[in-house]
Amino acid sequence: MSLNTAENEVKVLVTGFGPFQNITNNPSWEIASRLSSTLPKDSTIKLIVHPTPAISAYHAILDYMPKLIQEHDPDIILSIGLDQGRDYFAVEQSAQKEGYHEIPDRHRKVFTRAENKKLFCKAPDTLRSSLDLKSAVVRWRSEVGGMRLPLKACEEGNRAAKGKMKGWKEVDVRLSDEVGNFTCGFIYYVGLLEKEKRGKGDVVFLHVPWLEGDEEIGVGVKVTEKLIGALVESWRGQRS
C-alpha cells in the first residue's frame, strides 16, 4: 500500500444480525458476511466484517459493539438489520434511548428502565447520524438505478411467500426514521453513543427487506456496496 493510499483509506465496520424468532438465515448477516474486504472499484475503502453476527439480544449488543469499535477504530459504522414488513431498503436517521423494556429479545430478556437509567444516564433521548444522509441517499438511489429483485420478494417480503415469479421490480431505496425499539434501534443507539465518545457519530443503520437465495442476497450485497460508496463520499465531502 502506498503512503497516499494509506492516507486516503476509510475503514467501514459492517455488522449484521444472526437468527432471531423464526428467522434462521437472517439476510442482514447473509449480506454482511459476503462483502469483500475492500469496496469494488475503490480499494481505499476497507470493509471490516466481524466473523460472527450480532446476537439479537440487548445485553449481548452492549458487549459486542463497544468491543468492535475499540478493536477496529472505524471511520464509519454500518449496522444492517431485517424488517420483514418492508419491501425496500431503508437508511435510518436516528435511534431512541428509551423503549427497549417493551419487547423481549432472542434471550427472552428486555433492557429494563433501571438498566437504561444506570448505563445511558444523561445520554440524549435521541441520537442522530452525523453523516449527511439525505445527500447520501440521493447518490445511492442514482447508483442502484437498473438493479432489480424478483417481484415475489419485493411484494410479499416474507419467508412464507409462495408461488411462481411473475416478473421483476426495480430496487427501491429510501431515507427513513423508523428504526424501532427492538434490537435494531438498540444497536444503532449503542453504536452512535460509543462513536460519539470518540468524536462524531458517523454511524448508519440499514434496514433490508426479506431476501433469500443466492440471487436475491447477491442483489442485497450490491445495493449495500453502493450505499457504502455513497456514505464514504458524503463522509469525505464533510471533511474536505
Q: Give residue-wise pLDDT tens across range 115-145.
A: 999 999 999 999 999 999 999 999 999 999 9
Architecture of the domain whose range is 3-239:
3-Layer(aba) Sandwich (3.40)
Q: Whole-angstrom Cα distance, residue 89 to residue 234? A: 19
Whether residue 148 has pLDDT greater than 50: yes
Cell numbers found for residue 64? 459486542
Q: pLDDT of 18-36, one tens digit each?
A: 998 889 999 999 999 999 9
Whether residue 2 has pLDDT greater than 70: no
Q: Whole-angstrom Cα distance, residue 169 to residue 15? A: 27
Report the percent of the chain where pLDDT is more than 90: 83
Res 1: pLDDT? 44
Whether residue 163 has pLDDT greater than 60: no
Res 191: pLDDT? 98
Whether residue 110 has pLDDT greater than 50: yes
Q: Whole-angstrom Cα distance, residue 240 to residue 228? A: 18
Domain extent listing, the chain: 3-239
Whether residue 77 has pLDDT greater than 90: yes
217, 211 contact by CB (below 8 A): yes
Whether residue 203 has pLDDT greater than 60: yes
Res 160: pLDDT? 45
Beta bridge partners of 48: 13
Whether residue 180 has pLDDT greater than 50: yes
* Of residues 50 and 14, more confidently modeled: 14
Phi and psi at residue 191, to the nearest 5°: -60, -45
* Of residues 200 and 195, more confidently modeled: 195
Confidence of residue 155 (pLDDT cuts 50, 70, 90): low
Whether residue 100 has pLDDT greater than 70: yes
